[in-house]
């Protein structure tokens, strides 16, 4: 019953946000599909950023905290083996720093319906989330958001462009 109420709240909120966006000039693509109630808490995506100097002892060699974008195959949500060391490094950091919080942003290329892409982006983000949980990350530290094809990495409509669009981005956030 709680899930039904949450779904109703999200649908009503999305409708109000859409109406507000029409009035304020904000585009619909700025309103992600949120799959965790904590996403409505007003968290800001700041804190540990790419230019912060925050890194792992490997000097950002692609297997640590500095790698926060994970790419996926077409129409798939399985994490590539080569991304797992970086995901595990982030998991170790989160376990050691229980006040740290992250957002897992799921993305897709523009092929497919909006509904399908939002669901696929969510599955991709949840695949990363499951790996983090398996390493002991507290689920309260993680928020999953799916943008589907609303925030493309590139406007390049080639296979390479589509490959760059199919991703999950791990963002450290701060309240």
pLDDT at 13: 54
Rounded-to-integer distance, Cα 16 and Cα 110, Å: 25
Helix (H) or strand (E) holding 116: helix 114-134
Q: What is the pLDDT of residues 78-88, one digit of tens each?
A: 999 999 999 99
Instruction: Note the pTM of the prediction, 2 decimals.
Output: 0.66
CATH class of 32-173: alpha beta
pLDDT at 110: 97
Cα 167 to the center of its chain, rounded Å: 9
More confident residue, 2 or 130: 130
Q: What is the pLDDT of residues 16-53, one digit of tens each?
A: 444 344 433 333 334 444 444 333 333 333 333 333 33
Q: Tell me the average pLDDT across 12-18.
A: 49
Q: Tell me the average pLDDT across 91-113.
A: 97
Rounded-to-integer distance, Cα 137 and Cα 22, Å: 38
State the chain's mean pLDDT as an integer: 76
Going by pLDDT thresholds of 50, 70 and 90, the confidence category of residue 169 is very high
Do 173 and 47 touch, CB atoms closer than 8 A? yes
Do 140 and 97 touch, CB atoms closer than 8 A? no
More confident residue, 4 or 161: 161
Do 174 and 111 touch, CB atoms closer than 8 A? no
Going by pLDDT thresholds of 50, 70 and 90, the confidence category of residue 151 is very high
More confident residue, 9 or 119: 119
pLDDT at 65: 78
């Amino acid at each position: 019953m709680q899930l039904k109420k949450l779904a109703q709240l999200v649908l009503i909120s999305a409708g109000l946000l859409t109406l507000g966006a029409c009035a304020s000039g904000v585009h619909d693509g700025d309103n992600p599909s949120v799959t965790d109630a904590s996403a409505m808490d007003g968290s800001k995506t700041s804190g540990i950023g790419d230019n912060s100097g925050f890194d792992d002892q490997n000097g950002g060699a692609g297997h640590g905290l500095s790698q926060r974008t994970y790419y996926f195959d077409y129409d798939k949500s399985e994490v590539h083996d080569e991304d797992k060391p970086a995901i595990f490094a982030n998991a170790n950091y989160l376990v050691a720093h229980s006040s740290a919080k992250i957002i897992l942003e799921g993305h897709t290329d523009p092929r497919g319906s909006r509904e399908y892409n939002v669901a696929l982006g969510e599955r991709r983000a949840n695949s990363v989330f499951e790996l983090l949980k398996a390493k002991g990350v507290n689920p309260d530290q993680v928020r999953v958001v799916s943008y589907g094809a609303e925030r493309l990495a590139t406007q390049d409509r080639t296979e390479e462009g589509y490959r760059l669009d199919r991703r999950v981005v791990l963002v450290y956030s701060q309240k």
